A and B are shown apart, each in its own frame.
Chain A
Amino acid sequence: MTTTETTPVEPEAGSESLAVYFGLGALIAVIFMKGEVVSWFRIQEMFRFQAIHMYGVIGSAVAVGAVSIALMKRFGVRTIRGEDIEFPARAAARPRPNHILGGTLFGLGWGLVGACPGPLFALIGSGLPVMVVALLGAVGGAWVYGLLRPSLPH
Protein backbone atom coordinates (compact mmCIF):
# COMPACT_ATOMS: atom_id res chain seq x y z
CA MET A 1 0.00 0.00 0.00
CA THR A 2 1.38 3.40 -0.89
CA THR A 3 0.78 6.42 1.30
CA THR A 4 0.07 8.69 -1.66
CA GLU A 5 -3.13 6.76 -2.40
CA THR A 6 -6.10 8.82 -1.16
CA THR A 7 -8.87 6.43 -2.20
CA PRO A 8 -8.67 2.65 -2.02
CA VAL A 9 -8.12 1.02 -5.37
CA GLU A 10 -11.46 -0.50 -6.28
CA PRO A 11 -11.40 -2.09 -9.70
CA GLU A 12 -14.78 -2.26 -11.41
CA ALA A 13 -16.63 -5.55 -11.44
CA GLY A 14 -15.53 -7.73 -14.30
CA SER A 15 -12.04 -6.33 -14.31
CA GLU A 16 -10.48 -9.64 -13.38
CA SER A 17 -7.31 -10.04 -15.33
CA LEU A 18 -6.75 -13.16 -17.37
CA ALA A 19 -3.04 -12.45 -17.03
CA VAL A 20 -3.37 -13.06 -13.29
CA TYR A 21 -4.98 -16.44 -13.93
CA PHE A 22 -2.30 -17.25 -16.48
CA GLY A 23 0.39 -16.36 -13.94
CA LEU A 24 -1.42 -18.31 -11.23
CA GLY A 25 -1.55 -21.34 -13.52
CA ALA A 26 2.19 -21.05 -14.14
CA LEU A 27 2.87 -20.84 -10.42
CA ILE A 28 0.59 -23.82 -9.71
CA ALA A 29 2.36 -25.94 -12.30
CA VAL A 30 5.76 -25.06 -10.85
CA ILE A 31 4.51 -26.23 -7.44
CA PHE A 32 3.06 -29.38 -9.07
CA MET A 33 6.35 -30.16 -10.82
CA LYS A 34 8.63 -29.41 -7.86
CA GLY A 35 6.26 -31.16 -5.44
CA GLU A 36 6.25 -34.17 -7.81
CA VAL A 37 2.45 -34.43 -7.68
CA VAL A 38 2.53 -34.77 -11.48
CA SER A 39 4.63 -37.89 -11.18
CA TRP A 40 3.12 -41.20 -12.28
CA PHE A 41 5.56 -42.84 -9.86
CA ARG A 42 4.20 -40.81 -6.93
CA ILE A 43 0.61 -41.71 -7.83
CA GLN A 44 1.46 -45.43 -7.94
CA GLU A 45 3.23 -45.06 -4.59
CA MET A 46 0.12 -43.36 -3.15
CA PHE A 47 -2.26 -46.10 -4.29
CA ARG A 48 0.11 -48.66 -2.79
CA PHE A 49 0.27 -46.78 0.55
CA GLN A 50 4.06 -46.94 0.41
CA ALA A 51 4.96 -43.36 1.37
CA ILE A 52 3.46 -40.35 3.05
CA HIS A 53 4.35 -37.93 0.24
CA MET A 54 1.03 -37.57 -1.64
CA TYR A 55 -1.03 -37.89 1.54
CA GLY A 56 1.09 -35.14 3.06
CA VAL A 57 0.61 -32.90 0.02
CA ILE A 58 -3.17 -33.38 -0.18
CA GLY A 59 -3.67 -33.39 3.60
CA SER A 60 -1.70 -30.22 4.25
CA ALA A 61 -3.31 -28.52 1.23
CA VAL A 62 -6.78 -29.33 2.59
CA ALA A 63 -5.79 -28.17 6.09
CA VAL A 64 -4.46 -24.84 4.85
CA GLY A 65 -7.46 -24.42 2.53
CA ALA A 66 -9.94 -25.27 5.30
CA VAL A 67 -8.41 -22.87 7.81
CA SER A 68 -8.30 -20.15 5.15
CA ILE A 69 -11.94 -20.63 4.20
CA ALA A 70 -13.03 -20.75 7.86
CA LEU A 71 -11.21 -17.47 8.50
CA MET A 72 -12.69 -15.87 5.37
CA LYS A 73 -16.19 -16.87 6.48
CA ARG A 74 -15.56 -15.80 10.09
CA PHE A 75 -14.36 -12.33 9.13
CA GLY A 76 -16.69 -11.90 6.15
CA VAL A 77 -13.82 -11.37 3.73
CA ARG A 78 -14.97 -9.95 0.41
CA THR A 79 -13.44 -10.29 -3.00
CA ILE A 80 -10.85 -7.83 -4.27
CA ARG A 81 -13.77 -5.97 -5.88
CA GLY A 82 -15.68 -5.79 -2.62
CA GLU A 83 -18.24 -8.44 -3.56
CA ASP A 84 -19.62 -11.07 -1.20
CA ILE A 85 -18.01 -14.46 -1.66
CA GLU A 86 -20.49 -17.26 -2.29
CA PHE A 87 -19.09 -20.49 -0.93
CA PRO A 88 -20.90 -23.62 -2.17
CA ALA A 89 -24.05 -24.10 -0.10
CA ARG A 90 -24.64 -27.24 1.91
CA ALA A 91 -27.67 -28.24 -0.17
CA ALA A 92 -25.68 -28.08 -3.38
CA ALA A 93 -22.91 -30.10 -1.76
CA ARG A 94 -25.12 -33.06 -0.83
CA PRO A 95 -23.65 -36.34 -2.08
CA ARG A 96 -25.41 -37.78 -5.12
CA PRO A 97 -24.85 -40.89 -7.23
CA ASN A 98 -22.79 -38.95 -9.76
CA HIS A 99 -20.18 -38.16 -7.11
CA ILE A 100 -19.41 -41.78 -6.29
CA LEU A 101 -19.89 -43.10 -9.84
CA GLY A 102 -17.98 -40.30 -11.55
CA GLY A 103 -15.41 -40.29 -8.77
CA THR A 104 -14.71 -43.99 -9.20
CA LEU A 105 -14.35 -43.66 -12.97
CA PHE A 106 -12.02 -40.71 -12.44
CA GLY A 107 -9.99 -42.76 -9.97
CA LEU A 108 -9.68 -45.62 -12.45
CA GLY A 109 -8.21 -43.16 -14.94
CA TRP A 110 -5.99 -41.45 -12.36
CA GLY A 111 -4.50 -44.80 -11.34
CA LEU A 112 -3.70 -45.62 -14.97
CA VAL A 113 -2.45 -42.39 -16.51
CA GLY A 114 -1.13 -41.13 -13.15
CA ALA A 115 -2.18 -37.54 -13.76
CA CYS A 116 -5.31 -35.54 -13.06
CA PRO A 117 -6.31 -32.64 -15.33
CA GLY A 118 -3.96 -29.97 -13.92
CA PRO A 119 -0.87 -32.16 -14.11
CA LEU A 120 -1.73 -33.10 -17.71
CA PHE A 121 -1.21 -29.48 -18.75
CA ALA A 122 1.96 -29.18 -16.66
CA LEU A 123 3.45 -32.40 -18.05
CA ILE A 124 2.85 -31.26 -21.64
CA GLY A 125 4.71 -28.05 -20.83
CA SER A 126 7.57 -29.99 -19.29
CA GLY A 127 8.28 -31.45 -22.71
CA LEU A 128 6.25 -34.64 -22.89
CA PRO A 129 4.29 -34.54 -26.16
CA VAL A 130 2.92 -38.02 -25.40
CA MET A 131 0.75 -36.37 -22.74
CA VAL A 132 -1.06 -34.42 -25.46
CA VAL A 133 -2.60 -37.79 -26.32
CA ALA A 134 -3.69 -38.24 -22.69
CA LEU A 135 -5.16 -34.71 -22.66
CA LEU A 136 -7.03 -35.37 -25.90
CA GLY A 137 -8.33 -38.53 -24.27
CA ALA A 138 -9.52 -36.46 -21.31
CA VAL A 139 -11.22 -33.89 -23.56
CA GLY A 140 -12.82 -36.79 -25.43
CA GLY A 141 -13.97 -38.22 -22.11
CA ALA A 142 -15.55 -34.90 -21.15
CA TRP A 143 -17.25 -34.76 -24.56
CA VAL A 144 -18.68 -38.26 -24.30
CA TYR A 145 -19.88 -37.42 -20.78
CA GLY A 146 -21.70 -34.38 -22.18
CA LEU A 147 -23.27 -36.59 -24.83
CA LEU A 148 -24.42 -39.30 -22.39
CA ARG A 149 -25.28 -36.92 -19.55
CA PRO A 150 -29.08 -37.01 -20.01
CA SER A 151 -29.14 -40.80 -19.68
CA LEU A 152 -26.67 -41.22 -16.79
CA PRO A 153 -27.79 -41.48 -13.15
CA HIS A 154 -27.09 -38.29 -11.20
Chain B
Amino acid sequence: MPEAVMQPWPWYVAGPLIGLIVPFVYWYGGKKWGVSSTLQHMCAATVPGRIEYFRYDWRKKGAWHLAMASGMVLGGFIGGRILSGPDDVVAISEATRSDLAGLGITDFTGMLPTDVFALDAILTVPGIVIIVLGGFLVGFGARYADGCTSGHAISGLANLQASSLVAVIGFFLGGLISAHVLLPLVLG
Protein backbone atom coordinates (compact mmCIF):
# COMPACT_ATOMS: atom_id res chain seq x y z
CA MET B 1 0.00 0.00 0.00
CA PRO B 2 1.47 3.40 -0.93
CA GLU B 3 2.72 5.33 2.05
CA ALA B 4 0.43 8.30 1.28
CA VAL B 5 -2.64 6.06 1.71
CA MET B 6 -1.44 4.76 5.07
CA GLN B 7 -0.82 8.24 6.43
CA PRO B 8 -3.79 10.33 7.63
CA TRP B 9 -5.34 12.11 4.65
CA PRO B 10 -5.17 15.91 4.80
CA TRP B 11 -8.42 17.89 4.68
CA TYR B 12 -7.85 18.92 1.05
CA VAL B 13 -7.93 15.26 0.05
CA ALA B 14 -10.73 13.99 2.30
CA GLY B 15 -13.01 17.02 1.83
CA PRO B 16 -13.21 17.05 -1.99
CA LEU B 17 -13.68 13.27 -2.03
CA ILE B 18 -16.63 13.65 0.36
CA GLY B 19 -17.99 16.44 -1.86
CA LEU B 20 -18.01 14.09 -4.86
CA ILE B 21 -20.39 11.73 -3.07
CA VAL B 22 -23.17 14.31 -3.58
CA PRO B 23 -23.15 14.39 -7.41
CA PHE B 24 -22.52 10.63 -7.53
CA VAL B 25 -25.66 9.80 -5.55
CA TYR B 26 -27.73 12.26 -7.62
CA TRP B 27 -26.39 10.74 -10.82
CA TYR B 28 -26.64 7.10 -9.78
CA GLY B 29 -29.90 7.19 -7.86
CA GLY B 30 -31.43 10.63 -8.39
CA LYS B 31 -31.25 10.99 -4.61
CA LYS B 32 -30.03 13.51 -2.12
CA TRP B 33 -27.17 12.03 -0.11
CA GLY B 34 -27.83 11.78 3.61
CA VAL B 35 -27.16 9.27 6.34
CA SER B 36 -29.51 10.00 9.24
CA SER B 37 -32.63 8.70 7.45
CA THR B 38 -31.04 5.31 8.15
CA LEU B 39 -32.02 5.77 11.81
CA GLN B 40 -35.67 6.27 10.82
CA HIS B 41 -35.59 3.15 8.63
CA MET B 42 -34.05 1.13 11.48
CA CYS B 43 -36.98 2.15 13.71
CA ALA B 44 -39.50 1.45 10.95
CA ALA B 45 -38.01 -1.99 10.39
CA THR B 46 -37.94 -3.02 14.05
CA VAL B 47 -40.40 -1.26 16.38
CA PRO B 48 -42.66 1.02 14.30
CA GLY B 49 -45.53 0.69 16.80
CA ARG B 50 -48.46 2.85 15.80
CA ILE B 51 -46.22 5.83 15.12
CA GLU B 52 -47.06 7.48 11.83
CA TYR B 53 -43.44 8.54 11.23
CA PHE B 54 -42.44 4.88 10.99
CA ARG B 55 -45.38 3.54 9.01
CA TYR B 56 -44.15 3.43 5.42
CA ASP B 57 -42.50 0.91 3.13
CA TRP B 58 -38.99 1.04 4.60
CA ARG B 59 -37.77 -1.68 2.24
CA LYS B 60 -38.61 0.48 -0.76
CA LYS B 61 -37.60 3.84 0.67
CA GLY B 62 -34.75 2.79 2.90
CA ALA B 63 -32.93 -0.13 1.28
CA TRP B 64 -30.27 2.12 -0.21
CA HIS B 65 -29.63 3.87 3.11
CA LEU B 66 -29.38 0.57 4.94
CA ALA B 67 -27.04 -0.87 2.30
CA MET B 68 -24.85 2.22 2.49
CA ALA B 69 -24.75 2.14 6.31
CA SER B 70 -23.80 -1.56 6.24
CA GLY B 71 -21.01 -0.72 3.83
CA MET B 72 -19.84 1.96 6.23
CA VAL B 73 -19.28 -0.65 8.93
CA LEU B 74 -17.03 -2.59 6.54
CA GLY B 75 -15.31 0.63 5.44
CA GLY B 76 -14.67 1.50 9.08
CA PHE B 77 -12.81 -1.77 9.44
CA ILE B 78 -10.82 -1.26 6.23
CA GLY B 79 -10.00 2.36 7.01
CA GLY B 80 -9.40 1.88 10.71
CA ARG B 81 -7.74 -1.51 10.89
CA ILE B 82 -6.11 -2.16 7.52
CA LEU B 83 -5.24 1.30 6.23
CA SER B 84 -4.33 2.57 9.72
CA GLY B 85 -3.68 1.20 13.14
CA PRO B 86 -6.10 1.43 16.08
CA ASP B 87 -3.39 3.10 18.15
CA ASP B 88 -2.43 5.77 15.63
CA VAL B 89 -2.54 9.21 17.21
CA VAL B 90 -4.72 11.88 15.62
CA ALA B 91 -2.53 14.95 15.22
CA ILE B 92 -4.80 17.47 16.92
CA SER B 93 -3.43 20.86 17.85
CA GLU B 94 -1.40 21.31 21.01
CA ALA B 95 -4.03 23.71 22.34
CA THR B 96 -6.79 21.10 22.01
CA ARG B 97 -4.60 18.43 23.53
CA SER B 98 -3.82 20.52 26.58
CA ASP B 99 -7.48 21.60 26.96
CA LEU B 100 -8.60 17.97 26.87
CA ALA B 101 -5.81 16.91 29.22
CA GLY B 102 -7.15 19.59 31.57
CA LEU B 103 -10.50 17.78 31.47
CA GLY B 104 -8.81 14.55 32.55
CA ILE B 105 -8.30 12.91 29.16
CA THR B 106 -5.12 10.82 29.28
CA ASP B 107 -5.40 8.47 26.30
CA PHE B 108 -4.80 10.26 23.00
CA THR B 109 -4.40 7.15 20.86
CA GLY B 110 -7.05 6.07 18.37
CA MET B 111 -10.06 8.04 17.18
CA LEU B 112 -11.53 8.69 20.62
CA PRO B 113 -10.38 8.66 24.24
CA THR B 114 -10.80 5.32 25.99
CA ASP B 115 -10.93 7.25 29.29
CA VAL B 116 -14.53 8.02 28.36
CA PHE B 117 -15.41 5.60 25.59
CA ALA B 118 -15.17 2.23 27.29
CA LEU B 119 -17.87 -0.38 27.77
CA ASP B 120 -17.25 -0.52 31.51
CA ALA B 121 -17.54 3.28 31.77
CA ILE B 122 -21.03 3.46 30.24
CA LEU B 123 -22.84 3.42 33.56
CA THR B 124 -20.79 6.28 34.97
CA VAL B 125 -22.10 9.85 34.71
CA PRO B 126 -19.67 10.82 31.90
CA GLY B 127 -20.50 7.58 30.07
CA ILE B 128 -24.25 8.11 30.26
CA VAL B 129 -24.09 11.77 29.25
CA ILE B 130 -21.42 11.56 26.55
CA ILE B 131 -22.21 8.20 24.96
CA VAL B 132 -25.89 7.50 25.67
CA LEU B 133 -27.33 11.02 25.84
CA GLY B 134 -24.93 12.22 23.15
CA GLY B 135 -26.06 9.43 20.82
CA PHE B 136 -29.70 10.04 21.70
CA LEU B 137 -29.47 13.76 20.86
CA VAL B 138 -27.68 13.01 17.59
CA GLY B 139 -30.54 10.74 16.52
CA PHE B 140 -33.37 12.90 17.88
CA GLY B 141 -31.90 16.16 16.57
CA ALA B 142 -30.99 14.80 13.15
CA ARG B 143 -34.51 13.55 12.50
CA TYR B 144 -36.10 16.69 13.97
CA ALA B 145 -33.90 18.88 11.75
CA ASP B 146 -34.58 16.50 8.85
CA GLY B 147 -30.90 15.87 8.25
CA CYS B 148 -27.46 15.59 9.79
CA THR B 149 -23.97 16.63 8.73
CA SER B 150 -24.25 14.79 5.40
CA GLY B 151 -27.79 15.86 4.47
CA HIS B 152 -27.56 19.47 5.65
CA ALA B 153 -23.92 20.55 6.05
CA ILE B 154 -22.76 18.82 2.84
CA SER B 155 -25.68 18.05 0.48
CA GLY B 156 -27.92 20.91 1.60
CA LEU B 157 -25.28 23.64 1.63
CA ALA B 158 -23.97 22.37 -1.73
CA ASN B 159 -27.50 22.95 -3.09
CA LEU B 160 -27.52 26.44 -1.47
CA GLN B 161 -30.51 25.63 0.74
CA ALA B 162 -31.38 28.22 3.37
CA SER B 163 -32.92 25.54 5.60
CA SER B 164 -29.60 23.70 5.68
CA LEU B 165 -27.71 26.85 6.60
CA VAL B 166 -30.09 27.35 9.53
CA ALA B 167 -29.65 23.72 10.58
CA VAL B 168 -25.86 24.04 10.41
CA ILE B 169 -26.00 27.17 12.55
CA GLY B 170 -27.93 25.03 15.03
CA PHE B 171 -25.29 22.28 14.81
CA PHE B 172 -22.62 24.78 15.82
CA LEU B 173 -24.72 26.45 18.48
CA GLY B 174 -25.33 23.08 20.14
CA GLY B 175 -21.77 21.88 19.63
CA LEU B 176 -20.29 25.00 21.19
CA ILE B 177 -22.50 24.57 24.25
CA SER B 178 -21.47 20.93 24.59
CA ALA B 179 -17.75 21.52 24.09
CA HIS B 180 -17.49 24.58 26.31
CA VAL B 181 -20.15 24.02 28.97
CA LEU B 182 -21.45 20.45 29.17
CA LEU B 183 -18.20 18.51 28.70
CA PRO B 184 -16.29 20.50 31.37
CA LEU B 185 -19.27 19.99 33.71
CA VAL B 186 -19.40 16.26 33.14
CA LEU B 187 -15.66 15.55 33.02
CA GLY B 188 -14.47 18.20 35.43
Contacts and interface: CB of A to CB of B under 8 A. Distances in A.
In this complex, the interface size class of chain B, counting residues with CB under 8 Å from chain A, is: 35 or more
Q: Is the interface of B mostly helix, strand, loop or mixed?
A: helix
Interface in B48-97: 49, 51-54, 63-65, 67-81, 83-84, 86, 90, 92-93, 95-96
A130 B84 contact: no
**Chain A interface extent, by class:** 35 or more
A144 B135 CA distance: 13
Nearest to B50: A147
Contacts of B161: 88, 90, 93
A22 B174 CA distance: 31
Given A18-B67, A56-B15, A106-B171, A99 B72 contact: no
A28 to B, nearest CB: 6
Of B38, B132, B175, most A-chain CB atoms within 10 Å: B175
A26 B78 contact: yes
B68 A25 contact: yes
Given A130-B131, A137-B134, A50 B95 contact: yes
Nearest to A132: B119
Contacts of B125: none
